[in-house]
A and B are shown apart, each in its own frame.
Chain A
Amino acid sequence: MKKTMKRWVFPIIIVLIFASLALFSANTAERSLNVTFDYLKEMAIIMPPVFLLMGLIEVWVPKNKIEKWLGRGSRIKGGILSVALGTLPAGPLYVAFPIAASLLKKGASVTNMVLFLGAWAALKIPQIMVEVEFLGVAFAGLRFVLTLTALIIIGLLMELILKRQTDQDWLPKTENENQ
């Protein structure tokens, strides 16, 4: 019970900030509230199926398959697959966190998940189309190449740093460890 309460401390602080903002500047508070509601609508539509997908992955996808496709031994193929999965148009980054977590638990490598999250955030195909339109092909193209390079370096670096940790103990456990 205490733990459940603790989880709500952060949201309650936000509500208090909103309340004090409303006292100082009603206009700003109203604008903020409107933005929040816009995002709330989007999240309410997107998050339920995403978590369900995470549940289905957990239940159905065999660990050895993920290890083979996205694990440390998957090399370049796994990297390409991770980037490809990430570029699919499927919503904001917080959608990808639960998916990455369940793939990690099933044996995907840290490098590949960094690539997956990075591609999801920075290399989305519809997003790049908007970028080309407003910032030009040269800008978008150069950013794409540099970002991909950076992601590979970051991924390998993180793999190196986190590998020393014994068996993913840096990954928070969900209540259903059942493999």
Chain B
Amino acid sequence: MTTYIIIYGLVGAALTASVIKSKEKTKKAFKIAFKAFMKSLPSLLAILGIVGLILGVLPPETIESMVGAEAGFTATIVAAILGAVTLIPSLIAFPLAGSLLRSGATVMTISAFVTTLVMVGFVTAPMEIKILGKKFTVLRNVLGFIAALVIAFVMGMIL
């Protein structure tokens, strides 16, 4: 809810200022926005479908059984991959991670899951490629995945 208020407030204020300063330029901004929107619409819709499919096939309970207590180092790798390919809102992801931790998963596994979840966007990659380019996207996500593994390892050592 706050998200919506912030975005709409910000854009509303910017739009008002824009209209006051120049109607012409505002019209142009709308045109640019519309074109860009139509261009990314297919990949946006595809992302929604993939997110739905992944969360439908892999509900939180399934994830729990995959990275649970006794799985060891394999669990860390599985967790990192799960985090990379899923797109779970933090309001669901952190409670899930917390309950996994309490039920016996290691800190390394949980931090691998959380870090790749937020740093690597496999599902959003098609859209990122369309908007920011293939090289940028691949580099950012691959490096992010490697970094996430390192972070998980360090956190497992320290905590």
Contacts and interface: CB of A to CB of B under 8 A. Distances in A.
B55 A32 contact: yes
Interface in B124-150: 124, 126-128, 130-136, 139-140, 143-144, 147-148, 150
Do most interface residues of chain A lie in helix, strand or loop, or is the interface mixed? helix
Nearest to A131: B94
Do most interface residues of chain B lie in helix, strand or loop, or is the interface mixed? helix
B132 A174 contact: no
Contact of A89 (B3, B95, B118): B3
B97 interface: yes
11 contacts: A10-B42, A10-B46, A32-B57, A40-B48, A49-B12, A51-B33, A54-B33, A56-B14, A58-B32, A97-B131, A104-B132
Nearest to A31: B56
B11 A53 contact: yes
A135 B110 contact: yes
A54 B126 CA distance: 19
Contact of A36 (B43, B48, B128): B48
B48 A174 contact: no
B52 interface: yes
Interface of A: 7-8, 10-11, 14-15, 17-18, 21, 28-29, 31-37, 39-40, 43, 45-56, 58-60, 88-95, 97-98, 100-101, 104, 110, 114, 117-118, 121-122, 124, 126-127, 130-131, 133-135, 138-139, 142-143, 146-147, 150-151, 153-154, 157-158, 161-162, 165, 170-172, 174-176
Residue among A59, A133, A157 with the highest chain B CB neighbour number at 10 A: A59
A131 to B, nearest CB: 5
Contacts of B136: 110, 158, 162, 170-171
A158 B18 contact: no
Given A32-B55, A59-B29, A46 B7 contact: yes
Contacts of B45: 11, 14
Interface of B: 2-4, 6-8, 10-12, 14-15, 18, 21, 25-26, 28-37, 39-40, 42-53, 55-57, 59, 87, 89-91, 94-95, 97-98, 101, 107, 110-111, 114-115, 118-119, 121, 124, 126-128, 130-136, 139-140, 143-144, 147-148, 150-151, 154-155, 158-159
Contacts of B35: 174-176
B56 A35 contact: yes
A121 B18 contact: no
A143 B111 contact: yes
Residue among B7, B26, B35, B45 with the highest chain A CB neighbour number at 10 A: B7
Contacts of B158: 142
Residue among B12, B110, B136 with the highest chain A CB neighbour number at 10 A: B136
Nearest to B12: A49
Residue among A29, A55, A93, A172 with the highest chain B CB neighbour number at 10 A: A55
Contacts of B8: 49
Contact of B111 (A43, A88, A139): A139
A98 B131 contact: yes
Given A7-B43, A18-B49, 7 more contacts: A28-B56, A53-B10, A90-B10, A100-B131, A146-B155, A170-B135, A170-B136
